[in-house]
Structure 1
Amino acid sequence: MSESQLDNMFINRLIAPEFNYLKRLIQFRLERHFDRNEGMSLPVLPAIETWSSHVPENILKATLSESELTLLLIALCPHFNSNLLDEVIQNTLASTGDFPQLGGVRGKNFRGFLPTGHTALFLLAGDNSKKRKEIQEVFNSGHFFEKNHILWLEEVPEGEPKMSGKIIISQEYAHLFIFGKASRPKFSMKFPAQIIETKMEWEDLVLDVETDKQIQEIKTWITHGNTLLNDWGMHKKIKPGFRVLFHGPPGTGKTLTAGLLGKHTGKDVFKIDLSMVVSKFIGETEKNLASLLSKAEKTDNILFFDEADALFGKRTSVRDAHDKYANQEVSYLLQRIEGYKGLVILASNLKNNIDEAFLRRFQSIVHFPLPKSAERLRLWKKAFPSKVRLHNDVNLSKNARNYELSGAEIMNVVQYSCLRALAANKKTIYQEYILSGIQREFQKSGKIMR
Structure 2
Amino acid sequence: MTESTRWLLDYAIEHLLISLVVASILFVALRLRAIAPEKRAGLLLAAFALAVVGPIVPTPTDAWPDSIRAAASMSATTGLSADTPPHQTPALAPAGAHRAAWTIAPELAALLIALWLGGAVWRLARLTAAHRAARRIVAVSQRAPAIERAHRDAIPAGVEVRLSPAFGPAAIGLVRPAIVLPASMLAALPAPSLRAVLLHEASHIRRGDLAVLLLQRTAEALFWWNPVLRRMGAALDMAREIACDVGASRAYGCGIDYADALLDSIERLPPAPRPDRAQRLCAAASLSTLEQRIDAIVSQPPASIRIAAAPALVAGALATAWLAAGMAAPRMELMRETAPSHPTAAASGAETALSQSAQEALAAAQDEYSRAVQLAQDRYTNTLQSIESAHTRGLEAIERDWQSGHYEQRIADVNRRYDQATSKAESDYLAVTKAAESRYLATQASLGYP
Please report the TM-score for the alignment, with normalisation by the length of structure 2. Answer: 0.22
RCO greater where, 1 or 2, for CA within 8 Å and sep 6 or more? 2
**Greater Rg by CA:** 1
Please report the TM-score for the alignment, with normalisation by the length of structure 1. Answer: 0.22
